[in-house]
Amino acid sequence: MNEFWDTAPGCFHPASAPDYLPLPQMRELQLRRLQAVVRRAYDKVQLFRSRLEERGLRPECVRSLDDIVHLPFTVKTDLRDTYPFGLFASPMQEIVRLHASSGTTGKPIVVAYTKDDVEVWTSVMGRTLAACGLHKGDVIQNAYGYGLFTGGLGAHYGAEGLGATVIPISGGNTDRQIMVMRDFKVTAICCTPSYFIHLLDRASDLGVDIRDLSLKIGVFGAEPWTESMRRHIQAVSGIKAYDIYGLSEIIGPGVASECCCQNGLHVFEDHFFPEIVDPATGEPAPEGAEGELVLTALTKYAMPMIRYRTRDITALETEACGCGRTVRRIRRIGRRSDDMFIIRGINVFPSQIETALLTIEGTLPHYQIILTRHKGLDELEVQVEVTPEVFSDKVGSLEDLNARLMRALEQTLGLRAMVRLVGPRSIPRSEGKARRVIDRRNMQD
């Protein structure tokens, strides 16, 4: 039987009820859960226990939410150093699922879930999809990768929990994705934003106009993207493109999501407590200021994660959202403190380069950053694909385009960057996360 909310407009869904909890109740719930998870980590996880003891702290020291700032941080290397199971708080008999991240260097990191953890994950991912406007009756093409990566199964369970129809197509095989999207009358897709742009390009090659299909919602995450990319996606495909956020160390996708207002991502605070700190000092940032997001998984049982340094740069928005949710929002994450590269002493984020490129009409979001070193001097080259909109038969027009791109980059970055116009489709397309920066500085003199 259909309930009224299955077809109700807007983004309210009963699964979303905790998103609307009055603040005093929310804070009280968070405190209770924080105290419980700190106690559990202290009792079960050696690393956490010894770090508390080093500081002369005991679990009872957490008397208010403000006391969280006294607790030690957990960082990514803690997961590597204790590989594979060193941070687990549950015996393997109680663990029903393991996931692992593909480490780019050395060992991967492993995360664990009890049956209850999987249920929490399902509920928060359901709340994510509900916030993006999905209901029972929606047909969701889940193009996140299935496997050790948390994206595929996280979105899958959330969508099933919501009562929607899931197509577990996983990533890759773009032609088949387009066929399924059309033939199965898909209404929503979950994937990385850069993969969706790749899919739009391919659809256009195949003569398929996404606007003619029933697709109306995109649930995009797993990599930083920008407002300009959203505008491009929405204009070309006619869908609403939503940004979602999550990370394996905390639970996977389902930590935070945009709502119908598309103005910041609501953190599901009853499970994930957010803080913003100065990435350099670790000190709490002033209210509303930008800094590194630190998350505590308040209810995670198999692997308690306390004050985890996400490396994602954002700010907490505290003012009320138009959708009526009371849970706080994080600003769209455009950059990570570890995506940042330093060139000639200047910190540069790929998102800044994208912002500069998109001020010039007709440069599609296909670009790549090449870092090289010649005679000890770092050089930054941005390769931009030539599109029919900007191409001209006159050398002067292309040189002018090149000069305008260089000026836009120099204004945004405060340093000189070389621009190289390259042929269409010459920059490798990603089937997962876009690889924006190629750093060749270590391979050279």
User: Contact residues for another protein (CB under 8 A)?
Assistant: 386-388, 391-396, 398-399, 402, 420-426
User: Which residue bears the tokens 């609307």?
Assistant: 20
Nearer to another protein, 160 or 201 (CB): 201
Nearer to another protein, 74 or 368 (CB): 368
350-357 helix and 395-413 helix, angle to the nearest 10 degrees: 140
CB of 433 to another protein, least distance (A): 24
CB 333 within 8 A of CB 322: no
Cα–Cα distance, 282 to 263 (Å, whole number): 27
CB of 409 to another protein, least distance (A): 16
- Residue 157's alpha-carbon distances to 113, 140, 313, in angstroms, are 14, 12, 28
Nearer to another protein, 107 or 420 (CB): 420
- Contacts of residue 399, defined as CB under 8 A and 6 or more positions apart, other chains included, come to none
CB of 233 to another protein, least distance (A): 22
CB of 424 to another protein, least distance (A): 5
Nearer to another protein, 100 or 380 (CB): 380
CB of 207 to another protein, least distance (A): 11
CB of 422 to another protein, least distance (A): 6
Q: What is the DSSP code string of 182-236?
A: HHTT--EEEE-HHHHHHHHHHHHHTT--GGGSS--EEEE-SS---HHHHHHHHHH
Nearer to another protein, 54 or 393 (CB): 393
Query: Cβ of 391: how many Cβ atoms within 10 Å?
Result: 13
| Amino acid (1-letter code) at residue 266 | H
Nearer to another protein, 286 or 424 (CB): 424
CB of 402 to another protein, least distance (A): 8
- Assign 380 to helix, strand or coil: strand
Nearer to another protein, 24 or 423 (CB): 423
**CB-count burial class (<10 Å; 0-12, 13-18, 19+) for 229:** buried
